[in-house]
Structure 1
Amino acid sequence: MIRLLWVGIWMAYMTAPVSDLLDGGHHPVATALGCLGLLTFLTAYCRLLFRPAGRPLDLRKAGGALVAMAALAAALALTLGDSWLVLFVYVSVACGAVLPLKAARLTVPLVTVVLMLVGLTAGDAPHLLAVLGIPALLGGFAMSGVRQLVRTTRALREARATVAHLAANEERLRLARDLHDLLGHSLSLITLKSELAGRLLPDQPEQAGRQVADIERVSRQALVDVREAVSGFRRPTLEAEAAGARIALTAAGMAADLGRTADGHPDLPPDEEGALAWALREGITNVVRHSGARRCTVTLTEAGGELCLTISDDGRGPEGPPGNGLSGLSERLQLAGGRLETGTGEQGGFVLRAYVALSRRATASELASPTPG
Structure 2
Amino acid sequence: MLAGKSVLIVIGGGIAAYKSLELIRRLKERGCAVRAILTKAGAEFVTPLSVGSLAGEKAYTDLFSLTDEADIGHIQLSRSTDLVVVAPATADLLAKMVHGLADDLASTALLATDKRILVAPAMNPRMWLNPATQRNMATLAADGVLVVGPNEGAMAERGEFGPGRMSEPAEILAAIERAFESDTRVPLPAAPAGPLAGRRLLVTSGPTHEPIDPVRYIANRSSGRQGHAIAQAAAEAGAEVVLVAGPVTLPDPPGVRVVHVETAREMLAAVERTLPVDAGVFAAAVADWRVDGEAGEKIKKDGTGVPNLSLVENPDILATVSRLAQGRPRLVVGFAAETEKVIEHATAKRLRKGCDWIVANDVSPQTGVMGGVRNTVHLVTGEGIEDWPTMDKDEVARRLVARIAAALAEARQ
**Which one has a larger percent helix, Structure 1 or Structure 2?**
1
Q: TM-score, normalised by structure 1?
A: 0.19
State which structure, 1 or 2, has the greater radius of gyration over its C-alpha atoms.
Answer: 1
Higher strand share: 2
| TM-score of the aligned structures, taking structure 2 as reference length | 0.17
